Amino acid sequence: MTAESQAYERSLAMLRRCLSPAGFLASPSDVDNYARIWARDGIISGLAALASGDASLVDGMRRTLLTLAQHQGPHGEIPSNVTVDGKQVSFGRLVGRVDALLWYVVGVCAYSRHTNDTSYKEASRSTIERALFLAGCWEFNNRGLLYTPLSGNWADEYVQQGYVLSDLLLYEMALRSAGTLFTHDEWQSKADTLHQALTINYWPRDSFRDDPLVYHPNAYRSLLSQQGEAEYWLPAFSPAGYLRSFDGLSHALALLADLGNSEQRQRTETYVQALEQQIGSPLLPAFWPVIQPGTPEWQTFEVNHLYGTIKNQPYTYHNGGLWPVLTGLYAAGLVYHGLRNRAEHLLRA
């Protein structure tokens, strides 16, 4: 059996272990509440299920989506997680989760397209409309970018907030897929405008210095003047300026959303390959470089954590921890752009 076939069979086996009557669990092990239906993890598992074509796993995606929709909040919120029996519903502990809603929209559209289930599609229309209306409300200044609070997405306790690229790429995907599925021109147009804004604002370049789509001109020009053009997509900015760390999820989604051009993809790949040599593994880190104790960012970890201990110890969790799921999404993006050999290299990690 080839490495590719072996990895595929092991992946299917894991999906089956995570399948419950209510949908896909984040983990079959009940650790830190992961034995629940999590919007983010459940949809990612469901997308893999659709790709497999396995009927029982595809139905697992349906159950996941129905569980999340059943517990949609009064304003359009999608739960962060739900217990299998539906008795406990969480929209986030310290703050709500922006990305749960976006993953849900992407999942509904992907499932509807894959199955051509028109009755499910129409039954889900109102949940999509409510979800995207709420997402629009999170564009607090009506300028097109969602604002994510600290701990408001997959990065949990990591130091990241503001206009976060990974969330905005999901927003674009949600708008585009819903616009296509429901023939909604406004959503499609909004996705196109957002794509252009992301292209300009998350890889500052001298050629865009005076572009009217630059969202935060002072921060943009200051970064160019002090540090020059980036080697990769920047993860976020806020009124206080840009974050400079490497974000694994943003780069996986950037490939899948076709953000940027071939030169930027090559520069990113050069950085990722150098990072592999530095780390000693092809697996992508959640974020890099690592935040160390004694730094201002570490002080945030000391306050913003649950379960009694700091999970973001150096080289663990989101603080430089290596994530197979990010690597898999990144590999899928490489294949989409014709870089199959690189993707197979990552598969063997």
d(CA 288, CA 280): 14
Given a contact cutoff of 8 angstroms between Cβ atoms, the answer to whether 24 and 51 are in contact is: no
Is the pLDDT at 59 greater than 90, yes or no?
yes
What are the C-alpha distances in Å from 261 to residues 32, 226, 267?
Answer: 40, 24, 10
Instruction: State the pLDDT at residue 307.
Output: 76
Percent of the chain with pLDDT over 70: 100
Q: What pLDDT does residue 10 have? A: 93
pLDDT for the residue 4: 78
Indicate whether 303 pLDDT > 80: yes
End-to-end Cα distance, the chain: 17
Does the pLDDT value for residue 151 go beyond 80? yes
Q: Per-residue pLDDT for 3 more than 80?
A: no
Q: What is the pLDDT of residues 193-241, one digit of tens each?
A: 999 999 999 999 999 999 999 999 999 999 999 999 999 999 999 999 9
* Average pLDDT rounded to a whole number, residues 105-116: 99
Lowest average pLDDT, out of 4-8, 9-13, 175-179, 248-252, goes to 4-8
pLDDT band for 39, please (50, 70, 90 cuts).
very high
Distance in angstroms (rounded) separating the CA atoms of residues 262 and 338: 11
